Amino acid sequence: MNRPLSTRLRRAAAGLLLAALIPPALATITTASAPAPSASSPLVDGVSSRIADDAAMAFWYGDFDRLEALYRSVRQSTELVDGGTSRLQWFRKGLWRVYGRDDATDPYFAQLEALTHAWASKRPNSALAQLLYARALHARAWSFRGGDYADHVLPAAMKEFHRYIALEKEQLDRNASLLKNESTADIYLLMIGRTAVAPFDQMHALALDALARNPADDSGFQELATASLPKWGGSADLFDAVAREAARRARPGSGMAMYAFLYDDVSGDFPGDLFETSDVDWPTMRQGFRDWLARWPNRYMLNRFARDACHAQDKPTTLEVLNQIGDQPLERAWGNQFESCRRWAREP
Amino acid sequence: MNNRSRAVAVLLAGLAIAASCLAEGATAAADRQMADGSVAWMARVLQVPTTPDIDPPLRDAMAGLVREHVERLRTLVPAWIAEERARQGVGLKPGTLDRAIHNRVVNELALWRLESPGADYDAALARALLRPGICDRPPRDNYMGTLMTWFQAVPAADRPVLLAGERTLLAHWGTHRDALAPPPERSLSEEAADEIARLRSGRTVPDVAMPPLLADAAFKGQLAHDGSDVECALQQWGLARALHRGDPPTAALVSWRYATMKTAEDWSQRLPGADKNADPAAYPPVASMWEVTGWVEVRVTLDAGGRFASARVTGRQLVVPGVTDNPPVAFETLLDAASIAGAPRQFKPVVPPADGSAPKPVALRLNWKLQ
């Protein structure tokens, strides 16, 4: 359980070769195609939803200047707003609503590619324009591949998928100098790394680099955590190690907040019950929830705390948090489990 | 004739003159009332909205244009009424006159937005319309609100050009527009549909990329003439493509102007009988309401067996009460759909050529008369 991280990273690297076989929709945060505005976002109040909405709408209407102005205002902000997410992350969530439309077909993504390519060509010195084009290539790659298991994808489609991922990589490499201060470039490289089965230490370095470029942008560690899941070729103890490292590095002074966040975020990605098949340490996760909520109180995390406490069969904590929630649970945090958890928690 | 008879005759003549004077007075009063009503309606249609996001100098300039124009209408509309009375002679029913004047007003509104006041205006307008995000604005169900949204976004040098152009266009109301461009052979939406089909079918690179909201709707088959932001984006895309292929702004704007022009149908309330179950080849209630008659010519394409394959409108000659000095542009398309729907019923299959060549298209003329 507590083996050094480097050992676990090496062991995991081989396992990552399996990654290409995993259907992306089951695993990824940033490439999954579930674009529903607001409802797909863990937090939708105040500043955060405004940033995401503004970014989504500016992109949706093809207004690059408005996007660029918004990006300038968020890209170096280190403030964590509302539920504890950086402005830049909310901005990317807004973009994702446009890139990640799961009901769209290839002609839609071809238009996205053409639009962002035109922006990038017209504005060679705009980091955002280059990033948007790279991300459009990524979205188009997945439009060819689809969300099925790799061995169910037609060879021609898989070939196009790899071709577009390679084009995205080229686009980021070609603009490496321009993008040297953009944490988003690291996030996109991590996304490529996961699909292209990059060595884990390389991905780890990218996650650290993203954090160095913008200390509030911990999406790199979220990507790394996803890549370390068993279904992507990682393992339970590797994930735990990454979660602990993320808690240590990503949000200094916030205790184990990231540990709780990452485990909660991927709870459906471990086979079966998280508390049986992962290496999660509930007391640590519980403390992480408390740390998160002390700094960034919000309804979603509070509801998830109660739900996870219920799954961990920690009745006193479940009851304590349910009492804070009262009779108005946040449905999207619970699925259909609120009533059963409440009944269980109230049982003598 | 004795004195008594003479007195009766004089009395009767006097009564007739008095009755005539009274009738004339009543007619004049009714005409004034109609004119005042029409001017008031147009003043409302052209009202400058008070939304706070328009900068004051632009709002003031537009309000000034509207004031000038409303004054102009106070002279124009009575002249139109007099003209209509002279054309139709005595016994003109108030309802008929009212219909004619309203038709003319609606047609003038359409002509106003169809006409080009000059190349400089058109170049500036095209720049304004191509501005990204122009379709992402609160809907303004108002001419002046829409114009202000466009004009506010242009570079400072363009604004005087656009305002001067608008002044010119408004001053043309009531005149014959001899420089009016005819509608394009294929409408903006037909051209867009062709291009969308081309983009959907293969890996062709678009000349001009769509904004995502348009791409999303276009490839899901969700385009509609509904005044939405998607329709605005489609029109913007059509204009951008025309400019991209090298059309000068004035030429490129022709399709856009016809596509965005408010037609009589747009002004119509939902009519009784205009339900989805109605016979699509029947006289459209909306055309009946505006009393539009005339003929529509359609070109019928045949299949190899000489049977009906498809039809498209190639020409029309419509009669619209009140619209005599200019083409009835606001009414042109009211009978199109019914004509296309009716074409298969009028069409008689032809014997295909013996040499195996494709049968030539057939022209059909559908006459529309109010019952």
Domain-located, residue B256: yes
Looking at the fold, whether B196 and B222 belong to one and the same domain comes out as yes
Distances (CA, A) of A220 to A102, A135, A217, A255: 23, 15, 7, 19
Contact A108 B200 (CB under 8 A): no
DSSP state of A269: T
Co-location of B226 and B165 in the same domain: no
Residues B26, B118, single domain; the answer is: yes
Is B187 strand, coil or helix? coil
Q: B301 and B226, same structural domain?
A: no
DSSP string covering B203-268, please?
A: -PPPSSPPPHHHHHHHTTT---SSS-HHHHHHHHHHHHHHHHTT--HHHHHHHHHHHHSPPHHHHP
Beta carbons of A107 and B229 less than 8 Å apart: no
Structure confidence at residue B203 as a pLDDT band (50, 70, 90): low
Predicted local distance difference test score (pLDDT) of residue A17: 31
B268 in a structural domain: no
Chain B partners within 8 Å of A111 (Cβ): 199, 206, 209-210, 212, 214-215
> What ipTM score was computed for the predicted complex, to two decimals?
0.82
Residue B19 and residue B81 in one domain: yes
Residue of A63, A108, A117 with shortest CB distance to B215: A108
Domain for residue B95, yes or no?
Answer: yes
* CA atoms of A28 and A24, how far apart (whole Å): 6
Question: Average model confidence (pLDDT) for chain B?
Answer: 89
- Rounded to the nearest angstrom, the minimum Cα separation between A63 and chain B is 5
**B residues 216-255 closer than 8 Å to A (CB):** 216, 218-220, 229, 233
**pLDDT value for B134:** 86
Spans in chain A with pLDDT lower than 50: 1-46
Q: Same structural domain for residues B29 and B164? A: yes
User: Closest approach of chain B CAs to the CA of A332, in angstroms?
Assistant: 26
- List the single residue in A with minimal CA-CA distance to B211: A62
| Element (DSSP H or E) covering residue B346 | helix B336-346
Torsions phi, psi of B320, nearest 5? -125, 120
Same domain membership, residue B223 and residue B355: no
In a domain, B64, yes or no: yes
CB contact under 8 A, B215 and A60: no
* Nearest chain A residue (CA) to B198: A107
Among residues 290-349 of chain B, which lie with CB inside 8 Å of chain A?
none
Which one of A63, A66, A99, A111 would you mutate to disrupt binding with B, by most B Cβ within 10 Å of its Cβ? Answer: A111
Please indicate if any CB of chain B lies within 8 Å of the CB of A110. yes
Q: Are B80 and B104 in contact (CB under 8 A)?
A: yes
* Torsion, CA A118, CA A119, CA A120, CA A126, rounded to 10: 160
Q: Is position B3 within any domain?
A: no
CA gap A156, B35 in Å, rounded: 70
Query: What is the maximum span of chain B, computed from C-alpha positions, in angstroms?
Result: 102
Pairs across A and B, CB distance < 8 A: 72
Contact A61 B135 (CB under 8 A): yes
Does B213 sit within 8 Å of A105, measured CB to CB? no
Question: Which residue in B199, B209, B216 is closest to A104 by CB distance?
Answer: B216
Number of domains in chain B: 3
Q: Do B162 and B224 fall into the same domain?
A: no
**Is A64 in the B-facing interface, judged by CB distances under 8 Å?**
yes
Q: Which of B209, B219, B229 comes nearest A115 by C-beta?
A: B209
For B336-365, the pLDDT digits (tens) are 999 999 999 988 888 888 888 888 999 999
Task: Name the residue among A62, A103, A117 with its Cβ closest to that of B212.
Answer: A62
Residue B198 covered by a domain: yes
Question: Looking at beta carbons, which residues of chain A come within 8 Å of B203?
Answer: 110
Of B132, B133, B216, the CB nearest to A101: B216
Query: CB contact, 8 Å: A231 with chain B?
Result: no
- State residue B50's pLDDT score: 84
B43, B108: one domain: yes
Together in a domain, B303 and B164 = no
- Please tell me whether residues B52 and B141 are part of one structural domain: yes
From A66, which residue of chain B is nearest by alpha-carbon distance? B133
**H or E segment and range at residue A86:** strand A85-86
How many angstroms away from the CA of A59 is the closest CA of chain B?
A: 7
B56 and B95 in a single domain? The answer is yes
Closest partner CB to B211 (pick from A60, A103, A110): A60
Asked if the Cβ–Cβ distance from A107 to B211 is below 8 Å, we say no
Chain B residue numbers with beta carbons less than 8 Å from the beta carbon of A101 are 216
Q: Is A145 exposed, middle or buried (0-12, 13-18, 19+ CB in 10 A)?
A: buried
- Residues of chain B contacting A100 with CB distance shorter than 8 Å: none
Most A CBs within 10 A among B130, B137, B201, B213, hence the mutation to make, goes to B213
Quick one: which of A166, A159, A134 has its CA closest to A144? A159
Nearest residue to B134 via CA among B61, B235, B50, B55? B235
Asked whether the beta carbons of residue B212 and residue A58 sit closer than 8 angstroms, the reply is no
Residue B178, in any domain of the structure? no
Q: In A, residues 188-207, which contact B (CB 8 Å cutoff)?
A: none
Interface of A with B in 114-143 (CB under 8 A): 114-115, 117-118
Closest CA to A100 of A66, A64, A68, A52: A52
CB contact under 8 A, B215 and A98: no
Give the global pTM: 0.83
Q: Please answer yes or no on whether A115 and B135 come within 8 Å at the CB atom.
A: no
pLDDT at B253 over 90: yes
How far A98 CA sits from the closest chain B CA (Å)?
Answer: 7
Helix (H) or strand (E) holding B365: strand B362-368
- Separation CA B68–CA B63 (nearest Å): 9
Residues comprising chain A, all counted: 348
DSSP string, B59-86: HHHHHHHHHHHHHHHHHHHHHHHHHHHH
pLDDT at res. B9:
75
Q: Check CB contact of B175 with chain A, cutoff 8 Å.
A: no
Q: Give, as one character, the DSSP assignment of residue B321.
A: T
User: Across the interface, do A103 and B136 touch by the CB < 8 Å criterion?
Assistant: no
Contacts of B210 in chain A (CB under 8 A): 62, 111, 115
What was the pLDDT predicted at A11?
36
Question: Hey, is the C-beta of B153 within 8 angstroms of any chain A C-beta?
Answer: no
B73 located within any domain: yes
Sequence-separated (6 or more) residues with CB below 8 Å from residue A119: A64, A126, A129, A132, A133
Report chain B residues whose CB lies below 8 A from the CB of A63: 132-133, 136
Give the burial class of B144: count Cβ atoms within 10 A of its Cβ; 0-12 exposed, 13-18 middle, 19 or more buried. Answer: buried
> CB–CB of B133 and A58 under 8 A?
yes
Q: Which of B136, B203, B211 sits opposite A115 (nearest CB)?
A: B211
pLDDT digits (tens, 9 = 90+) for B81-130: 999 999 888 777 778 899 999 999 999 999 999 999 999 999 999 999 99
Parent domain of B316 = 285-368
Q: Please name which of B257, B211, B13 lies closest in space to residue B117, comparing C-alpha atoms.
A: B257
